[in-house]
Amino acid sequence: MRVPAAHLEPIFMAAHSELKPRTPLPTVTIEYFPFAGLNHTAQFRENHLKVRVSDLFVDAPRPVIHALALILLAKLYRRKLASDVHATYRGFILTADIQERARIARCSRGRTRAARGPAGRYIDLDVCFDRLNGRYFGGSLSKPRITWSERRSRRTLGRYDATRHCIYISRVFDTPGVPPFVVDYVMFHEMLHVKHQSCIRGCRILVHTPEFRADEKNFSDYQNARQWLKTI
């Protein structure tokens, strides 16, 4: 049954009382918001709690909303929660219906990442992909869109966006000082994400499955590449 936005307030107030029973209740403003996915926010300023809940949760059961309230407020107030709270929340968001809604929201609402295309100043990622596809996948891997990232990120070295079927590689690697086997390894890792889709096991999304990890070690310079990446 759908929980109207106006009815979210008492649920969040109850969660607040559970976490901070000796603290007076703040004023609360809660709204459903069209995030590009399963995002929620909570801010506390001058005794005013402002919450935005993903509009994908408009028909979430009350126990799930209550779990969400506890999770958001526990993060805000730095409190620990019992594992069953997270299990209740994950059990809902990992259902096939909610995952599909989230995918559609990311496609329709998400901003398109700035991209530079596959041809870098020193390295052509298309050539890299085709070579690795032939060597490790027998040329059978479906080729996604491939591009250098807009920024020279040292935090996100590579990323496969399954929603847009696109591989992004950080521009930090488009330089003569990076060994070719390092770029190959980063690309190979993202190619494995194309081959091994994320799956749901228990109450969590498993991105790097045992099959993924086993295949990753087939890369010829696996240890050397991982060691080199520690220097970034």
SS (H, E, C) the chain: CCCCHHHHHHHHHHHHHHHCCCCCCCEEEEEEECCCCCCCEEEEECCEEEEEEEHHHCCCCHHHHHHHHHHHHHHHHCCCCCHHHHHHHHHHHCCHHHHHHHHHHHHHHCCCCCECCCECCCCEHHHHHHHHHHHHHCCCCCCCEEEEECCCCCCCCEEEECCCCEEEECHHHCCCCCCHHHHHHHHHHHHHHHHCCCEEECCEEECCCHHHHHHHCCCCCHHHHHHHHCCC
Please check whether residue 76 is in contact with residue 51, taking contact to mean a CB–CB distance below 8 angstroms: no
Percentage of the residues of the chain whose pLDDT score is greater than 70: 94
Which pTM does this prediction carry? 0.64
Q: Closest by alpha carbon to 64, among 178, 203, 176, 198?
A: 203
Q: What is the pLDDT of residue 180?
A: 96
- Mean pLDDT in residue range 127-142: 97
Question: How many angstroms from the chain centroid is the CA of residue 39?
Answer: 10
Domain span(s) for CATH 3.30.2010.10 in the chain: 125-229
Fold of 5-109: Zincin-like (3.30.2010)
Rounded to 5 degrees, what are φ and ψ at 218? -75, -10
- Mean pLDDT in residue range 192-208: 79
Q: What confidence tier does 157 reach under pLDDT thresholds 50, 70, 90?
A: very high
Fold of 125-229: Zincin-like (3.30.2010)
Q: Which two tokens stand for residue 110?
A: 């998400």
Q: What is the pLDDT of residue 2?
A: 57
Give per-residue pLDDT as tens, 46-103: 999 999 999 999 999 999 999 999 999 999 999 999 999 999 999 999 888 998 898 8
User: Exposed (0-12), middle (13-18) or buried (19+): which is 143, by Cβ within 10 Å?
Assistant: middle
